[in-house]
Structure 1
Amino acid sequence: MNNSIKPTIILGGGFVGLFTALHLSQQNYPAPVILIDRQERFVFKPLLYDYLTEEMNDSQVNPLYEKLLEGSGVEFIRDTVQKIDLDKKRVELANNGSIAYKYLVLALGSQTGYFGIEGAKEHTLPFRTRENAIALKNHLQNCLKRSLSIEDFQERQQLLTVIIVGAGATGVELAGTLADVLPQWYIKQGGNFEQIRLILINRGSQILSSASERLRHAAQTALQQLPVPVELEMDASVTAVRPQQVEFERNGQKQTLAAATIVWTTGTTVNPVIKSLPLADGYRDKKGRLKVLSSLQLIDRPEIFAGGDCAVSWYESLPPTAQAAYQQGAAIAQNLVSLSAERVPDIARVQIRGTTLKLGLNEAAADLFDRLLVTGKSAHLLRQGRYLTTLPTPVRDFKAATQWLSEEVLESI
């Protein structure tokens, strides 16, 4: 690195951060670029379900940053951000000291939020990372195996019951995936899959509250047609989570459900580093996210950009999805190039091309451009094809997508 030129530092290697770095590497950006993340692997979160079921592997869903950035000129530092000094324009790291920046990209994402519910953090499993997926798979397979040697009906039923808290996209996709794959795992072990229960608990009155009515209806129908029909507990406010037990309230009545597996997919909170930034309250929304201009720059801080889950636009509401995030990454990169050439940053234009949901091993629903609904195997192919061609580094994308789509199409003929 040329020490005479202060680098552009990108904090967070999710979709916004990684795609900012990759786009800068392809646009002859004149300054050094440093990407900092505490993990060694990128997590392609929309495909984490496919990783859980082994439909896809680490190289496709959780590639190493060093591999993704190989030959890009971007320096990767695996470290934890401790503090950002906005006035001195420095980032303090846990293991690599302090680094000065000229431009800064905040892409630290969010963290799981538990709303202060007693026992929620201690007695549930999250589903956000590679390690979460591995832990959940191992836990589930262990529960299935243990149930085969249990004679007591209630104890066995508890081992075979899975509760997912939260009926947003993550909860619904995970429910659909498990309702399809758990029977396969249990049959291989010699069990009767009809004893498996899968329950989706939601505070609101319907699943996928932010989705279109047609997509919501398609998902709800699909969840009932899987090998293990998903039980829906709507208008249920979780009040506490005990070991292998969820307590909730509905219509003033308290209820309890027992399960050996409880997965928490609802709620997020802002990263502590973002929370600690000394900014006026008016520059944040009620969730603590940073308000950004249409160029994705912070107000009064033109050297800082922010995107993804830790930011919110003053001008438009964007869904917290991968397609919005990677487009923000491209826009931030373009605006950094403009600043380096002393040009005015442009408006970050994000186009939402519809929503896709995984609803089983070979099933999906896709609401394309919020106009056309596609379901079943065709939606499954569309979903996988879209995500595979979004994977970072074009050569890997093309090869992975071509190989996968060829195999799937030939199999379906």
Structure 2
Amino acid sequence: MDLNNLKSEPIVVVGGGFGGLATVQALLAKSDGTSVILIDEGNRFVFKPLLYELLSGELQLWEVAPQYSDLASELGFIFLQECVVEIDEEAKKVITSSEIEITYSQLVISTGVTTNYSFLDNLQDYACGFSNLNDFRIIKNLIIKINNSSEYTNPIVIAGAGPTGVELACKISDLIKDRVEIYLVDKGNKILPNCKSFNREKAIESIGKRNIRVYLDYCIKSVGKTFLELYSTDNETKNFIKIDYSTLLWTAGLKPSKSKFLDHFLNENQKIKVNEFMQMDEYKNIFFVGDITFCENAPFPSSAQVAMQQGSLVAKNIISLRNGNELQPFKFEDLGEMLSLGIGNASITGYGITLAGSLAFEIRRFAYLMRMPGFLLSFKSSGSWLFSKKIINRLFSQSA
């Protein structure tokens, strides 16, 4: 591929997560013939809400983490597996670690977030997150070891009782069949504090049926190789608990993915402050998408659906900018939420329904597979679900 022979300066998207790929897809759908280049350090897009089903074997790798090269072939964008090290805003250039220089017409930055291990000394040495395929492999191997060895007797500790922590706790509990206890720790006074009440109630029910012990109003103050210390956040009790543990899974904080070129864009809260059009006021030709962004006038949650909606809007605004038309402000439309609550179990609030159980699990899976980037992948994934005799029989038996 010769980047020097492009017919015009391309639109460059840095970061191939939900926001980045949504931007690419929307740009290509409204194509004016301008080349679109996607740059990402990895070789696969990871559909993170379905990592739990990959962990349990309910879905396969190709369904959850397709290769960018396959998506590029189908959708018609250019993919570069590179690390961006510098952005020259004046010259409108993106420079990679292998010294590739790309002059862009418009630039979209959607580099996402990763696990934040900075809360405690040596935390990264002892903890594992759940935000990428490497984390998945570590936890998958842990489950295999627990199921095939009697050496693991101490509990698995999961820090953070948000969606990731709760979903991970339920799935792992089912996979290890109660061989070891799971401790779910959170400094707040309830699990899933920002989730819909119906989903929270169903999550509490699911946790109560499993070998999961919940420590609310507690935070981890220190961690070593084999033990950690919990302190109560309740000023009146000030309880202290020392726990011998087998594994620590950290879902209690995120930070922007490590990218030095982002440093001068970030504010004191390690976010990129954007205007309503998803730009910084200083750089009208650069747009920002996803969890790295923050809008003071209209704050929005950090989620995949927000990133995808932002990506679609940014694509429209780039086309408008190129045509000299007015830009449109971002307005988040809450489509509801879906939680995985163990093998074959889920809870849904949204899409006009509140539903929990096995049917909710199948609807959640189908809804996510239909959102997979690329028509062929989405069709193949959803078709794999739809024509499964096991699934068809289950749906008919429940509706009878």
TM-score by length of 1: 0.88
5 Å matches for 1:324-403? 324-368=306-350, 372-403=353-384
Match for 1:293: what amino acid? Answer: N
Structure 1 residues 23 and 276: CA distance shift in structure 2, 3 A? closer
Length, aligned pairs only? 387
The Cα offsets for residues 242-276 of structure 1, whole Å up to 9 and x where unpaired, read as 11322111142321112212111110112343774
CA deviation after TM superposition for structure 1 residue 347, in Å: 2.1
5 Å matches for 1:21-40? 21-40=24-43
Who is 2:279 aligned against?
Answer: 297
The DSSP-based 3-state class of the residue aligned with 1:22 is: helix
CA deviation after TM superposition for structure 1 residue 3, in Å: 4.2
5 Å matches for 1:161-200? 161-183=155-177, 193=178, 195-200=179-184
Q: Kindly, what percent of the aligned residue pairs are identical?
A: 27
CA deviation after TM superposition for structure 1 residue 291, in Å: 1.6
Distance (whole Å) between structure 1 residues aligned to residue 241 and residue 82 of structure 2: 44
The DSSP-based 3-state class of the residue aligned with 1:146 is: coil
Who is 2:153 aligned against?
Answer: 157
CA deviation after TM superposition for structure 1 residue 17, in Å: 0.6
Distance (whole Å) between structure 2 residues aligned to residue 264 and residue 219 of structure 1: 19
The DSSP-based 3-state class of the residue aligned with 2:259 is: helix
Of 105, 110, 114, the residue aligned with 2:108 is 105
Residues 1:45 and 2:32 aligned together: no
Distance (whole Å) between structure 2 residues aligned to residue 386 and residue 276 of structure 1: 33
Distance (whole Å) between structure 1 residues aligned to residue 7 and residue 376 of structure 2: 34
CA deviation after TM superposition for structure 1 residue 133, in Å: 0.7
5 Å matches for 1:311-330? 311-330=293-312
Who is 1:15 aligned against?
Answer: 18
The Cα offsets for residues 114-135 of structure 1, whole Å up to 9 and x where unpaired, read as 2431221110111111121112
Match for 1:287: what amino acid? Answer: N
CA deviation after TM superposition for structure 1 residue 4, in Å: 5.7
Who is 1:410 aligned against?
Answer: 393
Q: Which runs of 5+ in 1 are unaligned?
A: 151-155, 184-192
Q: Are the counterparts in 1 of residues 160 and 184 from structure 2 also a CA contact under 8 Å? A: yes
Aligned Cα RMSD in Å? 2.0
5 Å matches for 1:110-121? 110-121=113-124
CA deviation after TM superposition for structure 1 residue 79, in Å: 1.0
Q: Which runs of 5+ in 2 are unaligned?
A: none
The Cα offsets for residues 333-369 of structure 1, whole Å up to 9 and x where unpaired, read as 1111222222222223331111110001111111116
Distance (whole Å) between structure 1 residues aligned to residue 194 and residue 337 of structure 2: 11
Q: Are the counterparts in 2 of residues 269 and 287 from structure 1 also a CA contact under 8 Å? A: no
CA deviation after TM superposition for structure 1 residue 327, in Å: 1.5
CA deviation after TM superposition for structure 1 residue 138, in Å: 0.8
Distance (whole Å) between structure 1 residues aligned to residue 141 and residue 251 of structure 2: 18
Who is 1:202 aligned against?
Answer: 186
CA deviation after TM superposition for structure 1 residue 171, in Å: 0.4
